Amino acid sequence: MEMKIFSRIVLTVFMISVNLSVARADMLEWKKMGFEVSNPVSVLDSMADVRKTFASPLVCSACHHHHYEEWSNSYHAMSVRNAGFQALYLKYLEFLRKEETKQALGRESGPEELRQCLFCHAPMLQFASDKLVHEISDSIANGKWEEIRDIQISCVMCHTITPEGKWTGAFGRTGTMYGPIKDPVPATVSGHQSKFSQRHEESKFCAPCHSLNTFNVYCSLVFEQWQGVKDAKQCQECHMEVTGEMAVAIGGKIRPDHSHLFQGGRFKDTMSSAIGLSLNVDKTPQKEIQVQVTLKNNVPHNVPDG
């Protein structure tokens, strides 16, 4: 529990000091994002449009109940709606309002700046109108979680990415779902096309958000660190472990089931899975710095992240 608080504090302190460089950098940085859409998506102007365009994870849960349960408890499911994000977002807004920020930008800050912060945490908002971006920004600032409950890193955000790293643009219930299954049962059973994607088993799938390459925001640097480690395992091998063999869908076959909990530093189980780690975790901040050093040998990225 203490570790949880600790890793949050580290991130928070770090992020605040980095926000300055974020805003000084090219504000259109997010446009370099690795994801492109192969088919045009119409502009989303309201939360109703969002709900119409992107299949809700609840829809997927009808057949993929186990994945849904796990994902619901992951930080990907809470990527915008949590007090930690809100706190830092408020700081960011405060920063955008500052006189020196306006001078650096040569204008008032606007939706571009808000989008940059939301891209990884709410990737569907890249298709949102300026009006909707402002509304959602207000909802986060005021903690109106109910209004924005459907803009997390949801099932379709990850499973409509093609092996080439583009989004298909068909985010609805009947879109093509890409994943690790080479011989999926046909769409007549699942109601959606299923296609194999090698990318989903590789670290580069996680890279656009867990890296500094795409944006100048220092939230997650694990991909760069991972790249620097020779013969490192893929992210999925540690963070999406096979938990057993089971039917991965109603109507599906018995197959390896990959965890969708995405456990990281804020889950105790993952922490104690690293050798010699459990001894030090719940101690003082100084001791926890020692934990970082110990872990570097076991995990191919820094601990804590960022």
- Single out the residue of 6, 127, 167, 226 in contact with ligand HEC (rule: CB under 6 A): 226
Radius of gyration of the chain (CA): 20
- Single out the residue of 27, 170, 219, 281 in contact with ligand HEC (rule: CB under 6 A): 219
CA dihedral for 200, 133, 13, 75, sign (positive or negative):
negative
Degrees, nearest 5: CA angle 126-129-134? 95
- Single out the residue of 50, 222, 280, 288 in contact with ligand HEC (rule: CB under 6 A): 222
92 binds ligand HEC (CB under 6 A): yes
Q: Total residues contacting ligand HEC (rule CB under 6 A)?
A: 100
- Single out the residue of 217, 280, 281, 288 in contact with ligand HEC (rule: CB under 6 A): 217
CA dihedral for 78, 289, 206, 109, sign (positive or negative):
positive
As a whole number of angstroms, the distance between CA 121 and CA 77 comes to 10
Q: Tokens at residue 238, please?
A: 């540690």
Closest CA to 7 of 261, 251, 306: 306
Answer whether 303's CB lies under 8 Å from 295's CB. yes
- Single out the residue of 265, 280, 281, 288 in contact with ligand HEC (rule: CB under 6 A): 265
Cβ neighbour number for residue 256 with a 10 Å cutoff: 13
- Tell me the closest approach of the beta carbon of residue 258 to ligand HEC, in angstroms: 4
Collect all residues with Cβ–Cβ distance below 8 Å to 50 and sequence separation of at least 6.
Answer: 44, 124, 128, 132, 150, 151
75 binds ligand HEC (CB under 6 A): yes
- Tell me the closest approach of the beta carbon of residue 297 to ligand HEC, in angstroms: 11
As a whole number of angstroms, the distance between CA 86 and CA 56 comes to 23
- Tell me the closest approach of the beta carbon of residue 282 to ligand HEC, in angstroms: 14
Q: Tokens at residue 98, please?
A: 């500052």
- Single out the residue of 239, 280, 281, 288 in contact with ligand HEC (rule: CB under 6 A): 239
- Tell me the closest approach of the beta carbon of residue 17 to ligand HEC, in angstroms: 12
| Residue (89 or 132) nearer to ligand HEC, CB | 89
Residues 7-46 that bind ligand HEC (CB under 6 A): 7, 11, 19, 22
Residues 106-145 that bind ligand HEC (CB under 6 A): 117, 119-121, 123
Q: Give the burial class of 169: count Cβ atoms within 10 A of its Cβ; 0-12 exposed, 13-18 middle, 19 or more buried.
A: middle
Closest CA to 147 of 138, 137, 139: 139
As a whole number of angstroms, the distance between CA 279 and CA 286 comes to 14
- Tell me the closest approach of the beta carbon of residue 32 to ligand HEC, in angstroms: 11
- Tell me the closest approach of the beta carbon of residue 16 to ligand HEC, in angstroms: 9
Residues 146-185 that bind ligand HEC (CB under 6 A): 153, 155-159, 173, 177, 179-181, 184-185
| Residue (59 or 129) nearer to ligand HEC, CB | 59
Q: Tokens at residue 129, please?
A: 């109108």
- Tell me the closest approach of the beta carbon of residue 45 to ligand HEC, in angstroms: 22
- Tell me the closest approach of the beta carbon of residue 186 to ligand HEC, in angstroms: 9
- Tell me the closest approach of the beta carbon of residue 99 to ligand HEC, in angstroms: 19
- Single out the residue of 228, 244, 251, 285 in contact with ligand HEC (rule: CB under 6 A): 251
- Single out the residue of 44, 136, 248, 281 in contact with ligand HEC (rule: CB under 6 A): 248
Answer whether 206's CB lies under 8 Å from 223's CB. yes
